[in-house]
Amino acid sequence: ETGVTQTPRHLVMGMTNKKSLKCEQHLGHNAMYWYKQSAKKPLELMFVYNFKEQTENNSVPSRFSPECPNSSHLFLHLHTLQPEDSALYLCASSQDTSDYEQYFGPGTRLTVT
Amino acid sequence: AQSVTQPDIHITVSEGASLELRCNYSYGATPYLFWYVQSPGQGLQLLLKYFSGDTLVQGIKGFEAEFKRSQSSFNLRKPSVHWSDAAEYFCAVGVFNDYKLSFGAGTTVTVRA
């Protein structure tokens, strides 16, 4: 595997479910990011980790919970989501947060029913 | 805070014709500027970036962009589009000492035969 991978690629969940999104980067980077992409809206930065430390929580509701066990892996734990949380969730990485060049994964298409 | 505007939501262009996508930003100092492309079902791929120096920047896939400070613009161009250029294009702005990128809402490009 190369680059940034995300699993699953598609996820349908009910509002009472608990699920997790996974991101893995094979680039040796130290910063990882979660973005939310909704149709025809700018990407919204959700969380940032730099050297496994969370450096940004962009006023994200607590029903989204990130986890970064090491510099290569990033998770987004989901629980009691709302239909408006349906979106494409993108993971990205960069060398560290002083590096502006971010590499993106293919995203997880989340549908909340 | 900086902001990014992509005035064109959707552009249709014939294969072989030229393409220009507009991007305007709002920021007091010289920003760092990026263009990303997102093909269907894929994550964002960096096409090119501008940090300083020559205001005409060459990128991958035959794309180029020109930074015009007086117009606060960073328009993307390609002289002759291919069917594979059909995708969504995002302009992004970063500022010195702040890793967060601000993205535009995107321009969808359709290529007709």
Residue B27: its pLDDT value, please? 83
Per-residue pLDDT, averaged over B6-13, amounts to 96
Question: How many A-B residue pairs are in contact by the CB < 8 A criterion?
Answer: 51
Dist CA A99 CA A29 (whole Å) = 10
- Kindly report, residue by residue over B46-80, the tens digit of the pLDDT: 999 999 899 999 999 999 999 999 999 999 999 99
- Kindly report, residue by residue over B80-113, the tens digit of the pLDDT: 999 999 999 999 998 877 778 899 999 999 999 9
Residues 6+ apart with CB under 8 A from B36: A104, B44, B45, B46, B47, B89, B90, B91, B92, B103
Dist CA B107 CA A98 (whole Å) = 28
Q: Which contacts qualify for A61-68: CB closer than 8 Å, 24 or more apart?
A: A66/A34, A68/A32
Residue A100: its pLDDT value, please? 85
Residue B111: its pLDDT value, please? 97
Residues of A in contact with B103 (CB under 8 A): 42-43
pLDDT surpassing 60 at residue A1: no
Give the count of alpha carbons within 13 A of A96, CB side only: 6
Residue B65: its pLDDT value, please? 98
> Does the beta-carbon distance from B42 to A106 stay under 8 Å?
yes
Which residues 13-72 of A are in CB contact (within 8 Å) with B?
Answer: 31, 40-43, 45, 48, 56
Give the pairing type, strands A4-7 and B107-112. unpaired
> Does the beta-carbon distance from A45 to B43 stay under 8 Å?
no
Which of A4, A31, A43 lies closest to B103 in CB terms? A43
Q: Any CB–CB contact under 8 A between B90 and chain A? A: yes
Which of B34, B46, B103 lies closest to A42 in CB terms? B103
Per-residue pLDDT, averaged over A62-67, amounts to 95
- Kindly report, residue by residue over B14-24, the tens digit of the pLDDT: 999 999 999 99
